[in-house]
Amino acid sequence: MLKSKLEPFIKRYEEINSLLSSPEIVSDIKKMTTLSKEQSDILPIVEKAKEYIEVCDSIDENRSLLDDNELGELAKEELKELEPQKPKLEEDIKVLLIPIDPNDDKNIYLEIRAGTGGDEASLFVGNLLKTYLRYAENRGWKVELMSSSEGTAGGFKEVIALFKGEQVYSRLKYEGGTHRVQRVPETETQGRVHTSAVTVAIMPEVDDVEIEINPNDLKIDVMRSSGCGGQSVNTTDSAVRITHLPSGIVVTNQDQKSQHKNKDKAMKVLKARLYDLEMQEKAEKEGADRKSQVGTGDRSGRIRTYNYPQNRITDHRIGLTLYRLEEIMLNGLFDEIIDPCVAHYQAESMKEAGL
């Protein structure tokens, strides 16, 4: 059965090979790029498929020789090597056959907002941002701060950063949701544990082609920057607020001294938010199962708890608890949580695909 699922990939790969050498495709850069990308995407499946088919054929061939007086013993030895390879290849192929998320290769805008808990929530936004920055450093990604609003006692009320690198979205797409923190605030004199919450949103960076915005749908206001902006930031009308009238989405940016730069950054974030909104609506239409598997479920859903007194971090979606909270936060060791999440959602996707 698996063989029949693999044959179309091999056939399509060979078909693309022929197309790429044809004069009409060679002269059309756009078509050539599209076909090359498709070929690159299916290459891992094709390679594994060929290996799997070869192993299956060799197993069948050796089994047919078991009763042969001269070759029976040799066939038995061959089967000892070949048969364990088959289930391993099947598992590898099942993972490769999971439908590819078109956003997996994209950079992302990571937005963290303080929720319930006042100053303590703002402080945790800062803590969580530091951990994501360390995680990005561990993976060799680059990070650009897009906008921020500082908390009154430190940390941030809201911060948005652009994470750039290989497979950024595929690693961080399951981080969206409510992150709850339990700890004793510095201002707490009686040592009571307080519970606060922050929300994280993961939005893919989009090209202009993917999201078209009608200029008539925008209301753009300029104003003087507020807060800690240095000597010249809040002496000119450099802050920009863009309101997308049809959706009601509002994006503000005041981090740069230049109005033009603030507007450019705000527009990029707006496009990402609109694309994210489209994804949410699509997930709603496709049903709850699909929505949970692509990690774009209810943003208000509590996904993780960070309990400092117990040095415990718990991911509620997969029932994972680790008693290494401080080390994970300090060193950006989020792979210890993300890897099990990826494995869980891959298993769910395999079930849905009937693999």
Q: What is the pLDDT of residues 27-67, one digit of tens each?
A: 888 888 889 988 988 999 999 999 999 999 999 999 999 88
Over range 167-171, report the average pLDDT. Answer: 92
Going by DSSP bridges, is the β-strand pair 177-183/302-307 parallel, antiparallel, or unpaired? parallel
Strand ranges for the chain from DSSP E: 108-114, 142-150, 156-164, 177-183, 194-204, 218-223, 239-244, 249-253, 302-307, 312-315, 320-322
Strand ranges for 184-278 from DSSP E: 194-204, 218-223, 239-244, 249-253
> What does the pLDDT read at residue 228?
47
* CA nearest to 218, candidates 273, 161, 144, 258: 273
- For residue 177, what are the CA distances in angstroms to 12, 96, 203, 279, 294? 39, 27, 12, 15, 13
CB 164 within 8 A of CB 142: yes
More confident: 7 or 255: 7
For 299-330, give one letter per residue: b (16+ CB within 10 A) or e: eeeebbbbbbeeeebbbebeebebeebeebbe
CB 244 within 8 A of CB 220: no
Q: Residue 224 and residue 220: Cα distance in Å, rounded?
A: 14
Provide long-range contacts, Cβ within 8 A and 24+ apart, for 279-283: 279/103, 279/204
Mean pLDDT, the chain, whole residue set = 85
Three-class SS string for 153-197? Answer: CECEEEEEEEEECCCHHHHHHHHCEEEEEEECCCCCCCCCCEEEE
Q: Where are the domains of the chain?
A: 2-97, 108-209+295-351, 215-280
Query: Which of 3.30.70.920, 3.20.20.70, 3.30.160.20, 3.40.630.30 would CATH assign to domain 215-280?
Result: 3.30.160.20
pLDDT in tens, 246-288: 888 888 887 667 788 888 888 888 888 888 888 777 777 666 5
Residue 168, CB-side half-sphere exposure with 13 Å CA sphere: 23
Query: Which DSSP category does 215 fall into?
Result: G
pLDDT in tens, 91-124: 889 888 887 788 888 899 999 999 988 889 999 9
Q: Residue 129 and residue 135: Cα distance in Å, rounded?
A: 10
CB 170 within 8 A of CB 106: no
156 has a pLDDT exceeding 60: yes
297 sits in the region (left: phi over 0; alpha: psi -120 to 50; else beta) called: beta
pLDDT in tens, 127-148: 999 999 999 999 999 999 888 8
Q: Considering only 160-174, 225-239, 246-260, 323-337, which range has the smallest mean pLDDT?
A: 225-239
Q: Give the domain 108-209+295-351 fold.
A: Alpha-Beta Plaits (3.30.70)
* CA nearest to 213, candidates 171, 246, 170, 180: 246
110 sits in the region (left: phi over 0; alpha: psi -120 to 50; else beta) called: beta
Q: pLDDT-based confidence at 182, cuts 50/70/90? A: very high
CB-based burial label for 195 (10 Å; 0-12, 13-18, 19+)? middle
Over range 295-302, report the average pLDDT. Answer: 53
> Tokens 């990070």, residue?
143
> What does the pLDDT read at residue 70?
84
- For residue 93, what are the CA distances in angstroms to 122, 249, 350? 44, 42, 11
Q: Residue 141 and residue 19: Cα distance in Å, rounded?
A: 35
Q: pLDDT-based confidence at 241, cuts 50/70/90? A: confident
